[in-house]
Amino acid sequence: MTERYEEVRIHSHGDEEHRERIVVDRAAQARRIAYQVSSFLWVFFGLIMGLIGLRVFLKMIGANPGNIFARFIYNFTELFLWPFIGLTSSPSADGLVFETSSVIAILVYALMGWVIVKLTWLLLYRP
């Protein structure tokens, strides 16, 4: 299968002739799809890491878990932190907590995002 092909279409209207040159580059199309998929993946993983980072910050400043915003962040990120809960201890002092398992989760999700984006490029794009 050809990666790039050209086609010339000729349209006649009475005495006038119109030539249209069409170039289709399948490699460019595959590159565009791979770019769009990898962009989506980076946004997805970036949101997860950002929300977990916000959770770490809220825990460090001792945010009230009864507050609707803090409760939303804690509940939403709980799903993504489930595999890491209990991995390490979380040092605390006077209601301020440093969740080391959340920091480890951020690092793991960053690595996972990078690997998945690289695999996406390997599978979808052939230079």
User: How would you write 61-114 as a 3-class SS string?
Assistant: CCCCCCCHHHHHHHHHHHHHHHHHCCCCCCCEECCEECCHHHHHHHHHHHHHHH
Asked if the model's pLDDT at residue 126 lies above 80, the reply is no
Domain ranges of the chain: 26-124
Residue of higher predicted confidence among 125 and 115? 115
pLDDT digits (tens, 9 = 90+) for 13-50: 878 888 788 777 777 888 888 999 999 999 999 999 99
Q: What is the pLDDT of residues 54-71, one digit of tens each?
A: 999 999 999 999 999 999
Average pLDDT over residues 70-97: 91
Tokens at residue 21, please? 């040159």
- For 62, phi then psi, to 5°, come to 70, 40
